[in-house]
Structure 1
Amino acid sequence: MNSDDAVQLDEVTKSLLDLSDECILGTINECFGRNYKAGIAKVVSINPKFIRPMMDFDEIEVDLVLEIDGIKYHIEIQTLNDGEMQIRLVEYGIYIAKKTAKLDKDGVMTIHMPRQAVIFIEQNSGIKDQKIKLIAPDNQEITYSIPTIRLWEYDIKKLMSKQMYNFLPLVVFSYRKKLKSIVNSTSKKKDKPKEIEQLKEELLQTIIEINAEMKILINEKIIKTEDAHTISLAMTNLVEYLNHKFINDNKLTGEVMSMTKTLYDPIIEKRGEKRGEKRGEINGRLKEKFSIAKSLLDVLEDNIIAIKTGLSLEEVQKLREENDGN
């Protein structure tokens, strides 16, 4: 995976961590063995960006930091296996803990490390349960385990049962390894076009299943329409990535966009009418989104702009065409 691909996936996963409590708390519960309920637990988002004065004041950004009922939680999402993950967890944990570190009257500094977990997205047999051993100068040892989630072990049914709704789109990403294996195969016996076509059909069926579950979640008001929009955008972006890298079907991305648009557009419109939203207010917010998107055209790809602004990929692409024509 090259750096551009990594940046795109990073943006997608971060958008899935920036959803409502209804979408996020199931993931927190699964990672840490808790039983938080949306509307009951007090959830506070903590700024994930930290300045490192000793490193020329550069900025680091962790994936997710929340304080729930007074307890801090930190989650990192990792696409591939990383031998330095534990080191980063210690570093990030200290930066998070620094904000509430206290020096008592005896000169003892108390540092409360956050509860941490790592979620690995792509299947890899080399991924081990994360453990950290800290050894003090006097040889005192502290060894602790970091909850390690292997997301490829969670299919749509399991994600739904665990209420890990924010990760539904990442089921789509599980096709990357299979597609890559076919494309990179040197076997002369393989019928690559046929195998890719078969996986494409499986991928479309997966999207249909995700959409069906999403429709239930929206209709039963389990998640917000804004969540559905972000999840649909994430799913579309992941399909576009797979299509560009491996499948190369000119119609695939548009087909998926139509499927997801059919899912959430009528529901959003219906709820908007029920809430009595004024057309002027809606147009004002939409105009602001387009203004932001236009300012990003020179620095970001269309799919990233869609995620950041909440516009559809089709709207961003049309905006770029209009901008290039001027």
Structure 2
Amino acid sequence: MKLTDRRKSEKLKLDQIMRVLFRLSRRLTIQLINGLFEEQFASEEVKSIHYGNAEFIKDEYDRIVGDLFLKLDTSRGIFHYHVEFQTLNDQSMVIRMFRYGFEKAMELAIGSGEGELPLLAFPRQVVIFLEENEAIGDRLSFKLRLPDGTETVYAVPVIRYWTLTPRDLQEKRLYALLPLQVFGSRKNMRRIAASHHSDEEKRRLLSKEFEQLKDTVERTLAVINELVTRQQLPLGDMDRILQVLSNILTYLYRNYGNEFVQMKQEVSTMIKTFIDPKMVKKGREEGIKVGIKEGIKEGIKEGIKEGIKEGIKEGKAEVAQNLLGLGVEIETIVQATGLTAEEVLKLGKKN
């Protein structure tokens, strides 16, 4: 594969990763919109959430995700939002935001009846800059002079993501953006890889950067752990967030850390050991709560299955006995624990 084709493929995969974060559960998506745009939507007043990706402008700028549009149909009316994820900044960024907003306003143009002026309503916009750049302020803006000579300022709010810690995201309830914490290492890794240092010095600097990356993963997982424990982060959302985290880490290791196999395994193990006991423990707790009335929910069963598959070998018999006590079918226990049906039956006789 040519270098340009590989970069396009990687960029497309990152686009897809970012879009996942805006398609989590309804509750987390509403929280994300509230946090990004300082709204106060309650879940019960939002009738539906619609997604639209504009394709009316083509360019070659270094964007990660461009033109993510959301529409909220609420009891208070219809609201439109535009979110742009960005790595690099340039003078034309705010101009492009204006063009994106204008094209969407044209698409949504309201009213052209007799005696009624058309209304071009821009969506609310925000640009999220992922990589550190002190030249980026709190907003992007330019001055617009109208035909009658009057002037107005067009401004788009900016979120300087690199200044936010996992705790900041927890406080702002921007849970969906937690996995992007590890993306902040890309700029330094890219700079080191492109430097004129010797290969040995590059390895030393990259090793140091990956150690910092491990610390970032630990702090991010600590926050996710609290959110799950407090039931503020559903298991399904947690699973998708951890998948995004793993995908970004894979991207970083593939591009800048092929030699750090052991470190990659350490980070992978860190995530797996976080998932395994939490899935089993949570599955058991939820099974006790709802198993009698509704049976174990599919998500909990999957959590138990995945937890066992990923490396929990000890305690299978205990888990199986607990599930038997809850009246779970033998077939489900076999799938969850890896034990044979005969082994499960023997455990049942012991009870």
TM-score, L = length of structure 2: 0.68
185-194 vs 71-80, which moves further? 185-194
Partner of 1:124: 133
227-236 vs 40-49, which moves further? 40-49
Q: Deviations over 1:58-80 (max 9, x none)?
A: xx972241326433222111122
Q: Count residues with an aligned counterpart.
A: 277
Partner of 1:63: 68
> Aligned ranges for residues 225-236 of structure 1 at < 5 Å?
225-236=235-246
Aligned 8 A contact 1:21 1:38 in 2: no
Q: Deviations over 1:240-281 (max 9, x none)?
A: 1111111222244444333323333554554474552477xx
Q: C-alpha separation between the residues in 2 aligned to 1:62 and 1:27?
A: 17
Unaligned runs of 5+ in 1: 54-59, 287-326
- Same amino acid, percent of matched pairs: 28
Partner of 2:156: 146
Which residue of the other structure, out of 267, 279, 286, is the alignment partner of 1:256?
Answer: 267
Q: Deviations over 1:276-310 (max 9, x none)?
A: 2477xx89xx9xxxxxxxxxxxxxxxxxxxxxxxx
Which residue of the other structure, out of 7, 12, 23, is the alignment partner of 2:28?
Answer: 23
Q: Deviations over 1:142-199 (max 9, x none)?
A: 3231111111111122222222111111110111122222222224698332332222
Q: C-alpha separation between the residues in 2 aligned to 1:267 and 1:40?
A: 30
Distance 1:200 1:38, change over 3 A: farther
Distance 1:277 1:132, change over 3 A: farther
Matched, 1:77 2:85: yes
RMSD of aligned residue pairs (Cα, Å): 3.4
Q: C-alpha separation between the residues in 2 aligned to 1:267 and 1:188?
A: 44
Partner of 1:94: 102
Matched, 1:14 2:19: yes
2:21 partner amino acid: L
Give the secondary structure class of the aligned counterpart of 1:63.
strand
239-248 vs 129-138, which moves further? 129-138
TM-score, L = length of structure 1: 0.72
Distance 1:63 1:179, change over 3 A: same
1:172 partner amino acid: V
Partner of 1:5: 10
RCO higher in 1 or 2 (8 Å CA, sep ≥ 6)?
A: 1
Which residue of the other structure, out of 46, 50, 58, is the alignment partner of 1:46?
Answer: 50
1:28 partner amino acid: I
Partner of 1:185: 195
Q: C-alpha separation between the residues in 1 aligned to 2:42 and 2:205?
A: 43
Q: C-alpha separation between the residues in 2 aligned to 1:29 and 1:49?
A: 20
> Aligned ranges for residues 261-280 of structure 1 at < 5 Å?
261-268=272-279, 270-271=282-283, 273=287, 276-277=295-296
Give the secondary structure class of the aligned counterpart of 1:17.
coil
Distance 1:50 1:181, change over 3 A: closer
Give the secondary structure class of the aligned counterpart of 1:103.
coil
1:144 partner amino acid: Y
Partner of 2:114: 105
Q: C-alpha separation between the residues in 1 aligned to 2:248 and 2:66?
A: 22
Unaligned runs of 5+ in 2: 58-64, 306-351
Q: C-alpha separation between the residues in 2 aligned to 1:246 and 1:182?
A: 9
Q: How far 1:116 sits from its partner (Å)?
A: 0.9
Q: C-alpha separation between the residues in 2 aligned to 1:202 and 1:43?
A: 43
Q: C-alpha separation between the residues in 2 aligned to 1:148 and 1:278?
A: 41
Which residue of the other structure, out of 203, 222, 237, is the alignment partner of 2:232?
Answer: 222
Aligned 8 A contact 1:79 1:122 in 2: yes
Partner of 1:203: 213
Matched, 1:32 2:43: no
